[in-house]
Chain A
Amino acid sequence: MPQMTLDDLRRLLIECAGETDDDSLSGDILDTDFTSLGYDSLAMLETAARITADYGVPVPDDRIPQLTTPRAVLDLVNAAASPSS
């Protein structure tokens, strides 16, 4: 399975839930809360479904509330995708 980069996640967020109006996604957002970027729980639910479809990484519904930042999402996806973990 491919590794997911921050750019991949940005693209996925935009496809699933639209862009931010102030271009705030383009900055250093690794540790920024999704809520402060304007992505609500439904946006994360939709994004999680796409991560499962595109990366083959299951994201159980009860994990979604813990995925509060891009770093948390990338850690989850890339740990699952990496054979050593």
Chain B
Amino acid sequence: MTQQREAVLVTGIGLIAPNGAGLEPYWAAVLEGRSGIGELTRFDAARYPVRLAGQIDAFDAAEHLPSRLLPQTDVSTRYALVAADWALADAKIGPDDFDDYEKGVVTANASGGFEFTHREFHKLWSQGPGAVSVYESYAWFYAVNTGQISLRNGLRGPGSALVAEQAGGLDALGHARRTVLRGTPMVVTGGVDSALDPWGWVAQISGGRLSTATDPSRAYLPFDAHARGYVPGEGGAILVVESAGAAARRGAPHVYGEIAGYATTFDPPPGSPRPPGLRRAAELALADAGMTPDDIDVVFADASGVPDLDRAEAEAVSGLFGPCGVPVTAPKTLTGRLYAGGGPVDVCAALLSFRDAVIPPTAGTTEVPEDYRIDLVRGAPRPGPVSSALVLARGKWGFNSAVVVRAVPAP
């Protein structure tokens, strides 16, 4: 017997990205092809082999958050708190709309509070353990954004944190949806990351996938014959998700769309003859949504920018949808890869593609190898109705996640 599941809707968005702080500034930048990638200026990166990043400039946390929170938070948590504030304001959720225990939080984070921790470690070795901030006890931690968002907003329902590198942000949305389906009517969810201090930077370089190119417009070229790695960035998105019933009862002002399906898989070990798990994640997410590849209007790709990984993703997509069977795009070429923030930002872009009937382009990439057999949207936005999207994300060490979002017809 099949059970009718209630729809889980996105009713609020807070987004902060290198090419725009706020959902609309980000979206305008994406459609205009304005990039947030440039020389790293957060510290002197002249001696490092990688010097380009998607950096959020012109954002002063003190303008948005109480002074009390600043000594206890890493830059990544400040972004997460502000994005959560924006998402709740966008959803017009006031303190009285739900009981505290009806409100959950699920976030993903891949790097923790690198910059905060770097500073405290410096104090540890230069001044001794007594000088290390007590707030280091949680400011570094992957669960910190869930905790701080919960505390600030009185969200005392189920709280979770997921860690799966770039795939983690989609896992958070998937788990938030599960949390709503289990009976928590409203969940704040998404992912935010930042690690643009010297320690965070060397950690990212050591992953071996960063582009060493120096021209910001030619550094991150996923699916291009000249792809040579990715540019990392900072930021992410926090979304408000609600059961359709809760959204209707309180008269939610926007319904951006439905989180209709989700799945995650893990790759076989290196050297295994079995194929990577990305296609299987996509298939399972479609099945979870009760949809087939024909129902999907656009794929937001993981877009690693590493040639082997690009090829594997192109094979997964062309295998599932047929050669050039679906438009594919990667607006993250304008922000860099945001780790746990990447998937949620792509989901937001997908939701806005429904609203504005346009697929945002992949910036930079020009020469897609013929045998990739993918219809990559390049150069300019592609107009036309869009009502469903498959969003893919892979995390280093074998994580694959897929989310299906679809438009909700106006009542």
CA distance A53 to B68 in the complex (A): 22
Beta-carbon nearest neighbor of B137 in chain A: A42
Query: At the interface, yes or no: A17 with Cβ under 8 Å from chain B?
Result: yes
Contacts of B133 in A (CB 8 A): 46
Query: At the interface, yes or no: B58 with Cβ under 8 Å from chain A?
Result: no
Beta-carbon nearest neighbor of A41 in chain B: B134
Contacts of A45 in B (CB 8 A): 134
Number of interface residues of A (CB under 8 A): 15
Q: Which residues from 33 to 81 on chain B have a C-beta closer than 8 Å to any C-beta of chain A?
A: 66-72
Contacts of B134 in A (CB 8 A): 42, 45-46, 49
The answer on a CB contact under 8 Å between B68 and A19 is yes
Query: At the interface, yes or no: A20 with Cβ under 8 Å from chain B?
Result: yes
Contacts of A15 in B (CB 8 A): 71
How near does chain B come to A55, taking the closest CB pair, in angstroms? 13
| Contact A49 to B131, CB < 8 A, known contacts A16-B71, A17-B72, A18-B71 | yes
Query: At the interface, yes or no: B94 with Cβ under 8 Å from chain A?
Result: no
Mark interface residues in A8-36 (1 if CB within 8 Å of B CB, else 0). Answer: 00000011111111000000000000000
The answer on a CB contact under 8 Å between B130 and A53 is yes
The answer on a CB contact under 8 Å between B68 and A20 is yes
From B68, B71, B130, name the one whose CB has the most chain A CB atoms within 10 angstroms.
B68
Number of interface residues of B (CB under 8 A): 14
The contact of B131 among A14, A21, A53, by CB within 8 Å, is A53
Q: Which residues from 332 to 368 on chain B have a C-beta closer than 8 Å to any C-beta of chain A?
A: none
Main secondary structure of the interface of A (DSSP, over half): helix
Contacts of A49 in B (CB 8 A): 130-131, 134
How near does chain B come to A7, taking the closest CB pair, in angstroms? 18
Beta-carbon nearest neighbor of A17 in chain B: B71
Q: Which residues from 299 to 339 on chain B have a C-beta closer than 8 Å to any C-beta of chain A?
A: none
Query: At the interface, yes or no: B199 with Cβ under 8 Å from chain A?
Result: no
Query: At the interface, yes or no: B135 with Cβ under 8 Å from chain A?
Result: yes
Query: At the interface, yes or no: A5 with Cβ under 8 Å from chain B?
Result: no
The answer on a CB contact under 8 Å between A46 and B135 is yes
CA distance A20 to B66 in the complex (A): 8
CA distance A14 to B62 in the complex (A): 14
Contacts of B66 in A (CB 8 A): 18, 21
**Cβ-closest 6 pairs across A and B:** A18-B68, A18-B67, A19-B67, A46-B134, A45-B134, A42-B134
